[in-house]
């Protein structure tokens, strides 16, 4: 899925530096910092992520310790912190989902990584078994509890899938659903179906299960296309296409998940993409869901 380039950058995570406290301390003094506010927003100016010097960083938040992200090709270190956003002329606080599609690859990668780490630290200030405070080690890639056990940043796998009927041309159809979280939207939004991979389950099994649970449709032939880090709070979205027969059974939506689900023709979806129809909306342009839709539009057009 060549459209998905947002997660690619030349940043070297330099994991071998994480265990060197002196190097990290020196790097912090000369590094560039991504500041994440308590609401998850960062500063954006002219479609670029604002990076500040460590001296410009304000007071600590819940996860205010410097979190090492890596170094670029010139050797510049990058860090993230959860603190109050500094005042920067011309910059505005923005969420990743608002600006991800417009950021350069390096900036999108930095912001995604920073947000994921900050959120994990804020949720793991205490050990899950003992309830005692944990401390940060290895540049923010480990928290140690009072009994010496190490806790590492967690990533939860999820599947997201564009289910279609396999028909080429303008009459080919894809299954899209409108999530209950969009109930108050001015216009109805439709997107691909998605869900978390459960314990003991493969990603392909999760595709079939989630589509059936949410829409009553039997999805077959899942095909993996690509992935996207999705730090809300700590997911890795595994993108698939799958096929299904619209005539096999009527759609049966799970009311706790979907307001509605429909089979849309390629003509209908293309009209929303090109702006000639605004009766409903599609996923955010920065999302893998949107790229799955574009892939389907082009693959069998």
Tens of pLDDT, residue by residue over 92-143, are: 999 998 998 899 999 999 999 999 999 999 999 999 999 999 999 999 999 9
Structure token pair of residue 253: 């939506």
Give start-end residues of each CATH 3.90.79.20 domain in the chain.
15-151
**Alpha-carbon gap, residue 245 to 64, rounded angstroms:** 51
Phi (first) and psi of residue 291, to 5 degrees: -70, -30
Q: How far apart are CA 252 and CA 260, in angstroms?
A: 9
Count of other CB atoms within 10 angstroms of residue 185: 13
pLDDT mean over 165-173: 95
Tell me: pLDDT of 212 over 90.
Answer: yes
CATH topology of domain 156-299: Nucleoside Triphosphate Pyrophosphohydrolase (3.90.79)
What pTM value is reported for the model?
0.87
Asked if the model's pLDDT at residue 251 lies above 60, the reply is: yes
Q: Is 49 helix (H, G, I), strand (E, B) or coil?
A: strand
CATH number, span 15-151:
3.90.79.20
Q: CATH 3.90.79.10 region(s) of the chain?
A: 156-299
Looking at residue 20, its pLDDT comes to: 96
């Amino acid at each position: 899925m060549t459209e998905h380039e947002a997660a690619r950058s030349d940043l070297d995570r330099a994991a071998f530096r994480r265990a060197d406290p002196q190097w990290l301390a020196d790097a912090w003094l000369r590094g560039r910092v991504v500041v994440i506010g308590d609401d998850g927003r960062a500063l954006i100016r002219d479609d670029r992520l604002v990076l500040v010097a460590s001296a410009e960083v304000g007071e600590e938040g819940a996860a205010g310790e410097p979190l090492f992200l890596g170094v670029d090709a010139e050797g510049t270190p990058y860090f993230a912190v959860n603190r109050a956003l500094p005042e920067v002329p011309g910059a505005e606080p923005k969420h990743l989902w608002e600006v991800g599609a417009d950021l350069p690859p390096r900036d999108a990668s930095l912001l995604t990584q920073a947000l994921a780490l900050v959120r994990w630290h804020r949720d793991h200030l205490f050990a899950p078994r003992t309830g005692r405070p944990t401390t940060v080690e290895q540049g923010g890639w480990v928290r140690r509890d009072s009994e010496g056990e190490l806790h590492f940043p967690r990533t939860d796998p999820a599947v997201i899938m564009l289910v279609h009927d396999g028909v080429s041309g303008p009459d080919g159809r894809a299954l899209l659903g409108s999530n209950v979280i969009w109930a108050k939207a001015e216009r109805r939004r439709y997107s691909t179906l998605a869900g978390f991979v459960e314990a003991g389950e493969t990603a392909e099994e999760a595709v079939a299960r989630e589509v059936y649970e949410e829409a009553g449709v039997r999805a077959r032939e899942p095909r993996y296309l690509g992935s996207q880090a999705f730090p809300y709070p700590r997911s890795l979205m595994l993108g698939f296409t799958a096929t299904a027969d619209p005539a096999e059974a009527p759609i049966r939506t799970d009311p706790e998940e979907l307001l509605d689900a429909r089979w849309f023709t390629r003509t209908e979806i293309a009209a929303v993409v090109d702006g000639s129809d605004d009766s409903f909306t599609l996923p955010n342009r920065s999302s893998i869901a949107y790229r799955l839709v574009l892939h389907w539009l082009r693959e069998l057009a």
